Each structure stands twice: as C-alpha cells, then as structure tokens.
Structure 1
Amino acid sequence: MTDMYTIVKRAKVDPEMLTELIKMFEPKVNQLMKRTNPNDMADLSQELKIMLIESAYQYDLDSIPGFWEFKDKYKS
C-alpha cells in the first residue's frame, strides 16, 4: 500500500490515483454515512468524495514542514 503523501502527489498529475485516494478514505466515509439519514446517504457520500478530490488538488505538498520546523512552530 502506498502512503497518502505519495498518492496525493501522484493524483495531481494522474487522475487514476484519485481512485486510490478515495479507496483510502472509503471506510471513514462509510462510517460517517451510518450517522446520516438514509435518504441523504448517496448525496452526502458523493459530496464528501468531491471535497476529498478538491482538497487533494489544492493541498500544497511543498509547504509541509519538516519535523524540526513543526516542533519549533508549536513549541510552548
């Protein structure tokens, strides 16, 4: 299995990787659907997947801080 960073990076240039990204989040989406009105499940599931795809395209992978930058940012 490929990690999420790699899938998002590849999905930006290869739309087929979006399928892998959706599969990765499918269990969480299905879990959330259990809390939803049955009449709204299909629409909400589709909307969540659209949001996931949009987030993948908009996420700036180059701005991910390294460990030390992250540590310094949240240092108390």
Structure 2
Amino acid sequence: MATLYSLVKESKNNPEALEEVIEMFGPKVSKAIAQTSANEKDDLSQELKILLMKCIQLYDLDNVPGFWEFKDKLSKRNSS
C-alpha cells in the first residue's frame, strides 16, 4: 500500500491515485457529515470531496517546511 505522501504526489498526474486518496479520507468525510440531516448528507459529502481534490491539486509538496522551520514559525507566532 502506498503512503499518503506518495499518493498525493502521484495524484497530480494520475486520476486513479487521486481517487485512492479520496477513498482514504472516506471515513473522515463520513464522520464529518454524521451530524448533518439525511437530505443534506450526499450534497455535503460531494462538496467535501471536491474541496479535498482542490486542496490536493493546490498543495505544494516541494515547499513543506522541515521540523525546525516549523518550530521557529510557531515560536514567532506565539511570541507576537
């Protein structure tokens, strides 16, 4: 089984990898819509999956900060 990172990277050019990522998030989507009324669940589920697809396509995997960069950013934010 491929990792989430590798699937997201591959999904930029491969619709099957994108579909697999969406399936991985299926339980999270289901839990998120559990409190929603029955007639809204399908629409909300579809909207969440569309948003997930957009986020995956826009996410820049090459510009992810390392641990120390992330720590410094949090320290600066907390000291402000």
Deviation at 1:74, TM superposition (A): 1.6
Q: Which has the higher contact order (CA 8 A, sep 6+)?
A: 1
- Residues 1-53 of structure 1: CA deviation (Å, up to 9, x unaligned): 32222111100011110111111110011112211010011111111001000
Counterpart of 1:49 in structure 2 is 49
Identity %: 53
Whichever residue aligns with residue 17 of structure 1, its letter is A
Distance 1:2 1:23 in 2: 13
Name the SS of the counterpart of 2:25 in structure 1: helix
Higher Cα Rg, which structure: 2
> How many residue pairs get matched?
76
Q: TM-score, normalised by structure 1?
A: 0.89
**Normalising by the residue count of structure 2, what TM-score does the alignment of the two structures yield?**
0.85
Aligned to 1:64: 64
Kindly report the root-mean-square deviation, in angstroms, between the aligned alpha carbons of the 2 structures. 1.2
Q: 1-10 or 30-39, which moves further after superposition?
A: 1-10
Instruction: Give the residue type in structure 2 aligned to 1:69.
Output: E
Write the letter of the residue equivalent to 1:62.
Answer: D
Amino acid of the structure 1 residue aligned with 2:27: P
- For structure 1, which segment, 62-71 or 46-55, has the greater mean C-alpha deviation from structure 2 after superposition? 62-71
Q: Give structure 1 stretches of 5+ with no counterpart.
A: none
